[in-house]
A and B are shown apart, each in its own frame.
Chain A
């Protein structure tokens, strides 16, 4: 011992070393993360616009954007579409399908598991624009799906036009299921096999075991996963935008698409921000639930 440079951590804790270490991150987070969130609240009460009179002079318009929002029928449609998209692709699609795959894969042939697992994972690893392209061509008028059904003598369907919401939901399921599959595989591996075996001895059926033992045992994983997947899906933009552009009409216009259209197509940034605030609040509520459920 002897150098002056040797100082115990206790001494260092008293000075401000920690501040220098944290400062760069805090500055970046404040400027590009927290500040924009605060701006969202601020701008949503203004007439901020990209062109026209309002572009020159920023004015407070009070709750105008909000009253407009609640009267705008497209907002109602977008909220509805967002809910359908969330429930269809995240809660039911990815969760249930991911769980089903994980459950069925248990104790199966190793090579078989690896093949199926890789195929499902491929959709997850693929960037969203590529996913959009793959599924766009799959559901296209002259796409693979129509080729398959016409092989069976069914006349082709304009999927992207007739059932656009279904196609984007399926695309998001294709893109996201692997995450839930991985989560549930890990959770199912943790269910002690003795409990299930004991139930079999007592004469319980497969379904009874599933609903009375397995699912209650991993309930917390289900909640946390549901929250994460929903939050992920809430922000989905590129996938829908590249596949249908929110159309035809407003049939696949979810809140992110509507926000984009208002802010950057109609140049109504203030109104667009009011819509993003709606999205943000939804996200905040879900995040709080997520933290609460993962703290246990």
Chain B
């Protein structure tokens, strides 16, 4: 009997522990969701007496907030597109040609992917002052591009390695240039990889706070992350409902993109279908 009881405990215990962990992770999140639809939201999680969409409407109809979301989208989209294009170009010779410096170059790239960006922000600030890029949205995009370039090149190069070369050679025979080959043959076969890189760079800058906090000054240039922080500091202690609604709206793109990226990942990276005949 004793061993039976022990076995039972061993079976149930993991469920209990995991449920407890789950609740701890859920509670802070639940607060932001509930508070966003509660007209009298407080700091603590509580059942709302009535539900309202008022917080969301207030946040969404504010011109300033619309602007902040638009700037955030523009910055992250701009960055994602530029990173993908430049990384495709850079990855091509790294994947296809025999270059002497390839190995050290790739190792440097890998090394750069793991460096903490936080550590270079003070000199970057100084550099931006010198280059007259300070408080300039395009400047922030440029820095974002640079900071995610190593990751982009590393990933795109690996994805490109798995696209068979014979397809391109066939296109060359038909008179296509290297450029057309990339555009018409290689890139379309790498759509899952390209989307993965685009999504990760987008979410990275969309969620970033430190970089725009250092490099931007005028409130009219603030992306959503900075606006939320400003909101937090100004009215946060009073207006929990709207603050929560802003947070949820701001988190939605990250969550949607994550779910999308899972779809691309699960489709797999296998490209064997490419060259069968």
Beta-carbon contact of A144 and B44 below 8 Å: yes
Tell me if B127 and A28 are in contact (CB < 8 A).
Answer: no
B28 x A119 contact (CB < 8 A)? no
Closest to A113 in B: B18
Contact A39 B126 (CB under 8 A): yes
A138 to chain B, nearest CB (A): 4
Asked if A81 lies at the interface with its beta carbon under 8 angstroms from chain B, I say no
Interface size on A, residues (CB 8 A): 91
Which chain B positions have C-beta within 8 A of A291? 107, 110-111, 114
> Which of A43, A112, A116, A264 has the most chain B CB within a 10 Å cutoff?
A116
The yes or no answer to B235 lying at the interface (CB within 8 A) is no
How far, in Å, is A164 (CB) from chain B's closest CB? 17
How many residues on B have C-beta within 8 angstroms of the other chain's C-beta atoms?
Answer: 88
Which of A15-23, A72-80, A213-221 interfaces with chain B?
A15-23
Which residues of chain B have C-beta atoms less than 8 A from A26's C-beta?
A: 90
Q: Is A259 interfacial (CB-CB < 8 Å)?
A: yes
Instruction: Give chain A residues whose Cβ lies under 8 Å from the Cβ of B1.
Output: none
Once the chains bind, are A9 and B111 in contact (CB under 8 Å)? no
Task: Report B144 CB to chain A, min CB distance, Å.
Answer: 9
Kindly list chain B residues whose C-beta atoms are within 8 Å of the C-beta of A97: 21
Asked if B146 lies at the interface with its beta carbon under 8 angstroms from chain A, I say yes
The answer, among A25, A29, A39, A125, for a CB contact under 8 Å with B89, is A25
Residue A54 at the B interface, CB < 8 A?
no
Q: At the interface, is chain B mostly helix, strand, loop or mixed?
A: helix
Chain B residues with Cβ below 8 Å from A283 are 114-116, 119
Q: Are B209 and A130 in contact (CB under 8 A)?
A: no
The interface bits of chain B over 166-208 (1 if a CB of A lies within 8 angstroms of the residue's CB, else 0) are 0001001101111000000000000000000000000100111
Instruction: List which A99-156 residues lie within 8 A (CB) of chain B.
Output: 100-101, 104-105, 108, 112, 115-116, 119-123, 125-130, 133-135, 137-138, 140-144, 146-147
Chain A positions within 8 Å of B119 at CB level: 40, 235, 256, 259, 276-277, 279-280, 283
What is the number of contacts between chain A and chain B, taking CB atoms within 8 Å? 263
The residue among B24, B97, B126, B251 with the most chain A CB atoms within 10 A of its own CB is B126
Residues on B with C-beta less than 8 A from A273 are: 122-123
Chain B residue, CB-CB nearest to A35: B127
- Nearest CB in chain B to that of A117: its residue: B22
Q: Assuming A29-B146, A264-B214, is B121 touching A126 (CB within 8 A)?
A: no
Q: Mark B119-142, 1 if CB is under 8 A from A, else 0.
A: 111111111000000000000001
Extra 4 A-B pairs, beta carbons < 8 Å, given A32-B147, A135-B28: A100-B21, A116-B18, A283-B115, A290-B114
Interface, chain A (partner B; CB < 8 A)? 1, 3, 5-7, 9, 12-13, 17-18, 21-22, 24-26, 28-29, 31-33, 35-37, 39-40, 43, 48, 97, 100-101, 104-105, 108, 112, 115-116, 119-123, 125-130, 133-135, 137-138, 140-144, 146-147, 174, 177, 206, 227-228, 231, 234-238, 241-242, 256, 259, 263-264, 269, 272-273, 276-277, 279-280, 283-284, 286-288, 290-291, 294
25 contacts between A and B (CB under 8 A): A5-B175, A17-B97, A18-B97, A21-B93, A22-B89, A22-B93, A22-B94, A24-B90, A25-B149, A28-B86, A105-B18, A119-B25, A120-B25, A122-B25, A126-B255, A138-B27, A144-B44, A206-B10, A237-B210, A259-B119, A263-B122, A272-B122, A276-B120, A283-B115, A283-B119
